[in-house]
């Protein structure tokens, strides 16, 4: 098992082999998470700092738990409330934290590319927990693991991603990951919420949801941000729900055993019918949350192995 | 009068569109004679003879749209540092932008800038003034007084005057005075907040983007206002294929319109931003490779008239930020000629065509006697080795700010010497 990366900044730099490596290890952690022996020591003695420059409850909690289950010392910083308000730049903040010698830095930032910038300035492993509209790699990995466990494979599936593609880093990372693993991807949503140049993405694009869902194996719903609901991108919440909200009637166009996914938090009655979201025969939304912890444990474990082997090499060289 | 003879050079004449071996005789601040080799006449006697070493001699570059950060941000660029950079880049006339802090929008501020320029810069400095007060697009500036004080053109730089009534009146008033108005063609509603050109690349990188159509919409509006007012107009940067047919029509219809483009849009494309490299963030954003080729073709055909450096110094702090937050702009006075020579080496443009856009056309548009290699023209000249290869190290730039996209780039072509009004202002070591 090899994973030759210093950071996890996105799906884009990963090879299919890397993705399989993470998912295989995460699979073990997921099984262990259901047993009594859920704690390990892969990150014992290491310091993990979570820096969230943008609100997050779920992702931050998931990373925190993942670190703690592997024995890391975990510190979470709500950066919105801190030095940023005092005018400190991102790089200065990074340098300050770097001086405290963390081993793992988990970063979320509202601007695309900010995590890449930060990774250039520190000498620990950086994990991207979402940067602007760019990437959210651990979300795509947990989605992949959920699909693999539910469908028994992660290739040659028909997968529909529905909703606000334009503003979604979850969609980007998923399009890249599922493409690398050789699946057929359909993007469904109103044209105002499709990114420019979409035709060159190697995906099929639909603005009619029923046609788009025809025969698919996986339906991924995306969250519609509140600020996009009124007039600017779509006429209204209720028209959106009528045309693009997932309900039993629209889902009937998908394959009979199609699974329903959502990265959360859900807007019930906006992008997804509440009852459908809770239907355990179709919805794997709770599994996604569970796999989130497992995937983050695996990613941090693999990065920490690289940190340790690098440290050993340096000692030997010295 | 002291006479200087530059011999053994390849003379680039952008007016005639020719390159020929010969000598140039300088008399004081002017060119006294152009002497092609083999015309049989005796070589004139001059107090001083300079051997051109068989390299190229061209009229010095006239660069419209240089930002010098005085007043307000002298730590980014002063008249002294910009002037030295220009001299080292073969730029003999810099036409400065008024987007300073405060904006150059009154005769008093213009007076200050001119005084500083004359004291500090070794090249010709011609100031432009703002078209509207504070570049806010509400009230026109004192165009008449500003012209008396030496303003050569009026521009709000990258601010589009959004209120068409205000812009139409300013154009009408400027026309009466014969003033040249330089505008930034862009539809500001579409381009608000954009950091990249929309398309696959910007979408994958998750950057807020503007459609290239915004440039054409801005140009279409301005052309309609020119038909209405008859003003003298120059578009600062045309960077997209879609804007070209409108420009072509406007010229064919006899409007007093010219257009420029920037060296960065001629030599770089949107993919150069990859890795979120903020030194490649310029305004308008870098375009697709197809657009770049279309703009080069328009330059070759003479549809686009001028090439500018759009020299925009930014300090490290304003560039070491996430891409969306980082400031736009790049320094380019010293890299303008070597970058432009990429188009020569790639076979896209010959040297007379290049200097038509770099020297002759900008001078003509501003009504200057320079930009020509002819008897009687000012002795503003650049001698350069078109083939000399080098790797650019941004630390060696003379600009106070080092925000060049060409750091570490292989370039071909170096300035050997620069003369302004007959005085040697730069000589390579």
pLDDT per residue as tens digits for the range A91-137: 888 888 899 999 999 999 999 999 999 999 999 999 999 999 999 99
- CB contact under 8 Å between B206 and A200, yes or no, is no
- Nearest CB neighbour to A116, from listed B201, B211, B275: B275
* A84: pLDDT strictly greater than 80: no
Contact B196, B270 (CB under 8 A): yes
Structural domains of chain B in order of their starting residue, each with its CATH number: 61-365 (3.20.20.140)
Strands A73-78 and A104-109, by their bridges, are unpaired
Smallest CA-to-CA distance from B52 within B77, B25, B78 is with B25
Taking only Cα atoms into account, the Rg of chain A, rounded to an integer number of angstroms, comes to 20
Query: What ipTM is given for this predicted complex?
Result: 0.87
A211 is in an annotated binding site: no
For every one of its 429 residues, what pLDDT tens digit does chain B have, with 9 covering 90 and above?
589 999 999 999 999 999 999 999 999 999 999 999 876 666 777 789 999 999 999 999 999 999 999 999 999 999 999 999 999 999 999 999 999 999 999 999 999 999 999 999 999 999 999 999 999 999 999 999 999 999 999 999 999 999 999 999 999 999 999 999 999 999 999 999 999 999 999 999 999 999 999 999 999 999 999 999 999 999 999 999 999 999 999 999 999 999 999 999 999 999 999 999 999 999 999 999 999 999 999 999 999 999 999 999 999 999 999 999 999 999 999 999 999 999 999 999 999 999 999 999 999 999 999 999 999 999 999 999 999 999 999 999 999 999 999 999 999 999 999 999 999 999 998
Question: Distance of CA B87 to CAs B29, B335, B418, Å?
Answer: 16, 12, 6
- pLDDT at residue B348, as a whole number: 97
DSSP code, position B383: E
Query: What is the 3-class SS of B34-103, one letter each residue?
Result: EEECCCCCCCCCCCEEEECCCCEEEECEEEEEECCCCCCCCCCCCHHHHHHHHHHCCEEEEEECCCCCCC
Region A137-288: CATH code: 3.40.50.1370
* A162: pLDDT strictly greater than 70: yes
pLDDT per residue as tens digits for the range A208-234: 999 999 999 999 999 998 777 666 899
Common-topology check for domains A7-136+292-317 and A137-288:
yes
* A83: pLDDT strictly greater than 60: no
DSSP states along A120-142: TT-SSEEEEEEETTTB-HHHHHH
Which residues of chain B have a CB within 8 Å of the CB of A132?
206-207, 322, 324
Interface test with B, best of A110, A134, A173, A197 (most B CBs within 10 A): A197
**Whole-model pTM?**
0.92
- pLDDT at residue A94, as a whole number: 85
Chain B residue with the nearest C-alpha to that of A115: B322
- CB contact under 8 Å between A197 and B206, yes or no, is no
Q: Where are the domains of chain A?
A: 7-136+292-317, 137-288
Chain A residue with the nearest C-alpha to that of B211: A196
Contact A299, A138 (CB under 8 A): yes
A195 is in an annotated binding site: no
> How many angstroms separate the first and last alpha carbons of chain B?
28
- Mean pLDDT of the region A37-63: 93
Phi and psi based region of residue B278 (left: phi greater than 0; alpha: psi -120 to 50; beta: remaining): alpha
* A283: pLDDT strictly greater than 60: yes
Phi and psi based region of residue B269 (left: phi greater than 0; alpha: psi -120 to 50; beta: remaining): beta
- CB contact under 8 Å between B323 and A111, yes or no, is yes
Which residues of chain B have a CB within 8 Å of the CB of A111?
322-325
Torsion angle (degrees, nearest 10) of CA B329, B330, B333, B334: 180
Report d(CA A235, CA A228) in Å as an integer: 10
Q: How confident is the model at residue A77 (pLDDT cuts 50, 70, 90)?
A: confident
Which residues of chain A have a CB within 8 Å of the CB of B203?
166, 172, 195-198, 201
- CB contact under 8 Å between A90 and B321, yes or no, is yes
Residues 6+ apart with CB under 8 A from B429: none
Phi and psi based region of residue B380 (left: phi greater than 0; alpha: psi -120 to 50; beta: remaining): beta
- Nearest CB neighbour to B206, from listed A89, A134, A197: A134
Distance from CA of A287 to the nearest CA of B (A): 28
Smallest CA-to-CA distance from A245 within A214, A226, A217, A270 is with A270
* A316: pLDDT strictly greater than 80: no
Opening angle at CA B370, ends B369 and B371, nearest 5: 130
User: Chains A and B: how many Cβ contacts under 8 Å?
Assistant: 69
Strands B56-59 and B381-391, by their bridges, are antiparallel
Contact B135, B103 (CB under 8 A): yes
Q: Exposed, middle or buried by CB within 10 Å (0-12, 13-18, 19+), for B376?
A: exposed
Tell me the H-state helices in A245-284: 248-251, 274-278
A58 is in an annotated binding site: yes
- Mean pLDDT of the region A31-42: 91
Q: How confident is the model at residue A5 (pLDDT cuts 50, 70, 90)?
A: very high
Q: How confident is the model at residue A317 (pLDDT cuts 50, 70, 90)?
A: low
Region A7-136+292-317: CATH code: 3.40.50.1370
- pLDDT at residue A303, as a whole number: 97
Residues 6+ apart with CB under 8 A from A108: A51, A52, A53, A54, A56, A59, A60, A115, A128, A129, A130, A131
Contact B275, B229 (CB under 8 A): no
A223 is in an annotated binding site: yes
Report d(CA A84, CA A278) in Å as an integer: 39
Residues 6+ apart with CB under 8 A from B37: B20, B21, B22, B23
Where would I find the beta strands (DSSP E) of chain A? 47-52, 73-78, 104-109, 125-131, 158-162, 184-188, 204-206, 218-221, 259-261
Interface test with B, best of A191, A196, A199, A227 (most B CBs within 10 A): A196
* Phi, psi (deg, nearest 5) at residue B393: -115, 115
Helix, strand or coil, per DSSP, at residue B344: helix
Strands B91-96 and B61-66, by their bridges, are parallel
- CB contact under 8 Å between B211 and A196, yes or no, is yes
- CB contact under 8 Å between B322 and A195, yes or no, is no
């Amino acid at each position: 098992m090899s994973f030759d990366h210093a950071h996890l900044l996105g799906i884009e730099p990963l090879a299919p082999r890397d993705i399989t490596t993470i998912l295989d290890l995460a699979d073990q952690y997921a099984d262990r998470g259901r047993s009594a022996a859920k704690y390990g020591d892969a990150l014992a003695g290491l310091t993990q700092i979570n820096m969230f420059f943008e609100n997050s409850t779920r992702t931050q909690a998931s990373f925190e738990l993942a670190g703690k289950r592997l024995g890391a010392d975990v510190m979470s910083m709500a950066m919105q409330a801190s030095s940023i308000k005092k005018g400190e730049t991102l790089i200065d903040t990074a340098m300050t934290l770097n001086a405290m010698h963390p081993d793992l830095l988990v970063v979320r930032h509202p601007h695309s590319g900010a995590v890449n910038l930060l990774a250039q300035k520190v000498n620990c492993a950086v994990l991207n927990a979402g940067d602007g509209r760019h990437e959210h790699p651990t979300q795509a990995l947990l989605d992949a693991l959920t699909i693999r466990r539910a469908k028994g494979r992660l290739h040659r599936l028909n997968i529909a991603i529905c909703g606000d593609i334009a503003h979604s880093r979850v969609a980007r990372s998923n399009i890249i990951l599922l493409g690398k693993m050789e699946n057929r991807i359909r993007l469904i949503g109103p044209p105002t919420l499709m990114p420019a140049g979409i035709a060159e993405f190697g995906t099929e694009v639909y603005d009619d949801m029923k046609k788009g869902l025809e025969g698919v194996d996986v339906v991924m719903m995306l969250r519609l941000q509140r600020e996009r609901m009124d007039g600017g991108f779509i006429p209204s919440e209720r028209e959106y729900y009528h045309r693009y909200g997932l309900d039993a009637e629209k889902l009937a166009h998908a394959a009979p055993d199609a699974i329903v996914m959502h990265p959360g938090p859900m807007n019930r009655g906006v992008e997804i019918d509440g009852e459908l979201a809770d239907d355990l025969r179709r919805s794997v939304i709770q599994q996604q949350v569970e796999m989130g912890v497992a995937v983050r444990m695996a990613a941090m474990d693999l990065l920490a192995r690289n940190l340790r082997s690098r440290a050993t090499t340096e000692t030997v060289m010295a | 009068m002291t006479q200087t003879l530059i011999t053994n050079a390849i003379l680039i004449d952008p007016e005639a569109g020719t390159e020929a071996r010969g000598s140039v005789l300088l008399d004081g601040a002017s060119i006294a004679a152009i002497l092609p080799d083999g015309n049989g006449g005796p070589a004139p006697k001059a107090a001083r003879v300079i051997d051109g070493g068989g390299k190229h001699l061209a009229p010095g570059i006239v660069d419209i749209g240089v930002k010098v950060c005085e007043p307000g941000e002298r730590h980014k660029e002063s008249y002294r540092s910009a002037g030295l950079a220009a001299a080292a880049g073969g730029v003999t006339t810099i036409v400065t932008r008024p987007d300073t802090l405060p904006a150059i929008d009154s005769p008093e501020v213009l007076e200050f800038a001119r005084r500083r320029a004359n004291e500090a810069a070794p090249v010709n400095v011609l100031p432009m003034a703002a078209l509207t007060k504070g570049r806010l697009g509400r009230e026109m500036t004192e165009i008449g007084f500003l012209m008396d004080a030496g303003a050569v053109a009026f521009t709000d730089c990258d601010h589009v005057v959004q209120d068409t009534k205000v812009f139409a009146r300013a154009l009408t008033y400027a026309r009466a005075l014969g003033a040249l108005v330089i505008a930034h063609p862009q539809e500001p509603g579409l381009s608000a907040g954009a950091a990249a050109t929309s398309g696959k690349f910007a979408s994958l990188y998750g950057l807020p983007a503007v459609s290239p159509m915004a440039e054409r919409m801005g140009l279409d509006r301005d052309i309609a206002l020119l038909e209405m007012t008859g003003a003298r107009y120059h578009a600062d940067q045309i960077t997209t294929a879609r804007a070209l047919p409108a420009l072509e029509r406007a010229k064919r219809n006899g409007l007093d319109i010219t257009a420029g483009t920037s060296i960065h849009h001629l030599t770089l494309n949107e993919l150069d931003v990859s890795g979120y490299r903020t030194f490649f963030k310029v305004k308008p954003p870098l375009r697709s490779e197809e657009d770049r080729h279309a703009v080069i073709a328009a330059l070759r055909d003479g549809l686009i008239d001028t090439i500018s450096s759009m020299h925009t110094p930014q300090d490290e702090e304003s560039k070491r930020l996430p891409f969306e937050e980082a400031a736009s702009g790049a320094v380019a006075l010293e890299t303008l000629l070597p970058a432009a020579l990429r188009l020569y080496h790639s076979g896209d443009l010959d040297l007379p065509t290049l200097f038509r856009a770099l020297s002759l056309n900008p001078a003509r548009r501003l009504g200057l006697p320079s930009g020509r290699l002819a008897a009687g023209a000012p002795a503003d000249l650049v001698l350069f080795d078109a083939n000399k290869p080098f790797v650019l190290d941004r630390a060696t730039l003379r600009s106070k700010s080092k925000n060049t996209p060409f750091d570490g780039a292989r370039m071909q072509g170096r300035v050997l010497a620069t003369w302004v009004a007959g005085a040697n202002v730069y000589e390579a070591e």
